[in-house]
A and B are shown apart, each in its own frame.
Chain A
Amino acid sequence: AQTVTQSQPEMSVQEAETVTLSCTYDTSENNYYLFWYKQPPSRQMILVIRQEAYKQQNATENRFSVNFQKAAKSFSLKISDSQLGDTAMYFCAFMGTNTGNQFYFGTGTSLTVIP
């Protein structure tokens, strides 16, 4: 079975600073995908960034980047130049290619950007 663990229930960061959210996962699969989703108070889950496990290069999307350590089964999210609009719940998610597109989510990290 796949599990996703986010060990930081809450975090805060000053506006314009950098913050890193942690995520670890457990799987026996070799081919899989990892995602970070953002859930603001509007409730809609919004895709932030995606990483294919077969790619060694870390994914980046503007101010968002990941540190993917496959051997350690670690997938952290770095947010640079934090903005007030980044305040939200952040969920790490795993999808294995053998699990029929089923996503496994962590329990989330509540991020607050302080003006």
Chain B
Amino acid sequence: ETGVTQSPTHLIKTRGQQVTLRCSSQSGHNTVSWYQQALGQGPQFIFQYYREEENGRGNFPPRFSGLQFPNYSSELNVNALELDDSALYLCASSFQGDNSPLHFGNGTRLTVT
């Protein structure tokens, strides 16, 4: 069983730039969720993708967008980066329909300077 993998592990960007984070879901899972974890905080829900469409969104502005591909992998895109976007971005996969728990990757640490 292949677990959730994320790339890159670390990233440094400048304010105003754009960034793309990538995630491969665990085998057998069809749903991908993205979470933002600021330092010292719990993860905050950004959005979820199921069947290549956004299937729920948290309180994040439109400059946070995503994609899900036919193989269930996913991308998180953030435009016009702000200093407050510095955080650990966690991808989690699950199987839609059985209220299954989230299975997380190791995250991408994004630093915006």
Contact = CB atoms under 8 A, between A and B. Distances in A.
Interface of A: 4, 33, 35, 37, 42-47, 50, 91, 93, 95, 97, 99-108
Interface stretch (B12-20, B60-68, B96-104): B96-104
B106 A44 contact: yes
Contact of A106 (B35, B42, B58, B107): B42
10 contacts: A33-B99, A43-B107, A44-B104, A45-B92, A97-B99, A100-B55, A102-B45, A103-B33, A105-B44, A107-B40
Nearest to B102: A103
Nearest to B48: A101
Chain B contact residues: helix, strand, loop or mixed: strand
Nearest to B94: A101
A102 B48 contact: yes
Contacts, number: 63
Given A43-B107, A44-B104, A105 B33 contact: no
Contacts of A105: 35, 42-44
Given A43-B88, A101-B48, A107 B41 contact: yes
B42 A102 contact: no
Contacts of A4: 42
Q: List 6 A-B pairs, minimum CB-CB distance, nearest first.
A: A105-B42, A45-B104, A100-B56, A44-B106, A43-B107, A102-B45
A44 B105 contact: yes
A4 B55 CA distance: 22
Contact of B101 (A50, A97, A104, A108): A50
Given A91-B43, A95-B99, A101 B33 contact: yes
